[in-house]
Amino acid sequence: MTTTEAAPETRSFEADVAKLLHLMVHSVYSDKDVFLRELISNAADACEKLRYEALSDASLLGDDGQPRITVTLDPEGRRLTIADNGIGMTEAELGDALGTIARSGTKAFMDRIAGAKESEDSHLIGQFGVGFYSAFMVADRVDVVSRRAGTDTAASWSSDGLGTYTIQPADLADAPARGTRVLLHLKEDAATYTDAGMVERTIKTQSGHVPVPIVLADTPDAEPRQIADGAALWTRPKSDITPEDYKDFYRSAAGQFDDPALTLHYRAEGRHEYTVLAFVPETKPFDLFDPDREGRMKLYVRRVFITDEAQILPRYLRFVRGLVDSNDLPLNVSREMIQESPVLAAIQKAVANRVLSELDKLATGDTERYLAIWDNFGPVLKEGLYEDYARRETLLGLARFKTTASGGAWRSLQDYAGALKENQTAIYYATGTDLDRLATSPQLEGFRARGIEVLLLADQVDSFWVTSGLDFGGKPFKSVTQGLADLSLIPLVEGETPATDASEAVNGFIAFVKETLGDAVSDVRASDRLTTSAVCLVASEHGMDRQLEKLLAGSGRLDAAAKPVLEINPHHALVEKLSAVGTGDEDVRADAAHLLFDEARIADGELPTDPRAFSARLMRLLERGLG
């Protein structure tokens, strides 16, 4: 095939590319070296994909079976080329791969980058996977020519990054025999990227451990020289690997710019032989809670990349980055069948256990480092309490909580168990969405009066795992907003005055409130959990925790919420005064009953049932009080 006469087709990017690239160039400018790492990483992936496909079709390799990445500098033309002899792309694949920017998170990326602080700049590209488009930080125009292995056609793609790109068939005489060539027409202030010494140092630092050899040509006519041998870092003895080596590999493989908070590198031998190189990031990925987000662990078989969709770790460990290289899996295993392999199932189980074991060691050996990890990934790890029955005990041991007694610090359940009060039969918790509001909840007053520590659970997942029948040390988890508090057997702390029985008048008023509110509540009763507040709302003994109920109702998974229980503090001064209001003044008593219910709703983070009626009742009582 020779040059085609077809006119190039101009298309618009599937994103507000002009704005995005402008933001990226101006916000991440201090770290523009990233484009080399991203383009080399893409080239390495293409070579690995070819190596995998060649397992079933060796003809794809032709006479060129050695993968390589070639970087060519052109100082006179102010150009830089990164080429690979990997799998390559068809015209359709080229348009799909390079025509949609930040496919899964364009808006999130733009919102974040627009307000980024300079100190955060170095993390942005790695977190958002901008990848190829980082080239526009240094280039006025980018030209790509690609030919897919095993085909006799090639395609070219070109763009100045200002909103459109062109794509058309390419002349085979100008295309690589196989693979992809990316040509960057560098900006004037990016001419240093044609300096051989500077480019070599940058590549060795950022991409020296990619599993594909890299060669560098100082000029278009120069003989390329090897600057990275493609030796897989994970196959080398740990004693030969420096912390800097691990850091460079992590940044290259994970697409991050932070340091790894935890590095796990080991070789398993015995029934199954495999090598694991895994990292816990130091910073939280922006898409950590994306429901479609999968893990970031790659699967290799004897150094041949197989897939990054093997789900080697459970979803609640999806923040871990790295790889597993197996000696036992067959090289010709299909991506579709890989999940059904009993060998992979055994590897998955062992690797997950080892990651949790390493986290446990860190939790006991280096508390500060572990708490930094928990700060970032605790809410995700707690998903395992709900999903992974077999490892619940381990995960409970790893869990850390803010409590009413922690002063803002993290506490373990072992710490909590050591502070149990006499006759305390449960681990008490309060769920919500805001720690400060939780800490001041009226439902906590009776527990505080007895010195009972309460877990303050403000993550959404907390409302689910605490209801899954867990216990710790034989003590079940119990919500402070559900059922009777049953605190009478636990002694008050020194200085607290024991409550006396409610007066007959107060009991009569409580009965009146129950009758007045009718179907709005399931019950109205005297409270033993309130000490300073007049009222609070709780769920019935066998009802759903109120926070969980709100979450399910808000997501449409619950048709109607259950009626709450209104608890009234029988010793509160307001309640005692309302109880003394004559029975002939029923309108005042009725207004007070409804206002007490609405006050409890407001304290629970809800609106009054009828804001207009609430306002009218409040005005009537104020007028009466001032009359």
SS3 label, residue 222: coil
Q: How far apart are CA 483 and CA 441, in angstroms?
A: 16
Q: Compute CA distances 104 → 101, 286, 291, whole Å.
A: 9, 11, 11
DSSP 185: E
Q: How far apart are CA 20 and CA 163, in angstroms?
A: 10
Helix (H) or strand (E) holding 627: none
Q: Which residues contact 379 (CB under 8 A, 6 or more apart)?
A: 289, 459, 460, 461
Do 334 and 369 touch, CB atoms closer than 8 A?
no
Q: How many residues does the chain have?
A: 627
DSSP 590: H
Report the number of secondary-structure helices (H) and strands (E) in the chain. 20, 23
Q: How far apart are CA 254 and CA 37, in angstroms?
A: 11
Phi, psi of 377 (to 5 degrees): -120, 5
Amino acid identity for residue 221 in this structure: D
Residue list, annotated binding site for ATP:
38, 42, 84, 89, 104-105, 127-132, 180, 335
* Three-state secondary structure string covering 287-349: CCCCCCCCCEEEEEECCEEEECCCCCCCHHHCCCEEEEEECCCCCCCCCCCHHHCHHHHHHHH
Q: Which residues contact 41 (CB under 8 A, 6 or more apart)?
A: 131, 207, 210, 252, 253, 255
DSSP string, 68-109: -EEEEEETTTTEEEEEE-SS---HHHHHHHHSSSSTTTHHHH
Query: Would you state the structure tokens that stand for residue 340, as one six-digit string?
Result: 């059904």
Q: Which residues contact 222 (CB under 8 A, 6 or more apart)?
A: none
Q: Which residues contact 154 (CB under 8 A, 6 or more apart)?
A: 145, 146, 147, 169, 170, 171, 172, 175, 176
Strands 471-472 and 475-479: antiparallel
Strands 321-326 and 296-301: parallel
Query: Would you state the structure tokens that stand for residue 341, as one six-digit string?
Result: 């392999």
Q: How far apart are CA 205 and CA 227, in angstroms?
A: 11
**Ramachandran area for residue 415 (φ above 0: left; ψ -120 to 50: alpha; else beta):** alpha
Residue list, annotated binding site:
38, 42, 84, 89, 104-105, 127-132, 180, 335
Q: How far apart are CA 55 and CA 617, in angstroms?
A: 79
Amino acid identity for residue 275 in this structure: T
Q: How far apart are CA 14 and CA 340, in angstroms?
A: 36
Strand order of the β-sheet with 535-538 is 523-526, 565-568, 535-538
Q: Which residues contact 610 (CB under 8 A, 6 or more apart)?
A: none
Query: Would you state the structure tokens that stand for residue 406, as one six-digit string?
Result: 């922690």
Beta strands, E only, 218-259 = 225-228
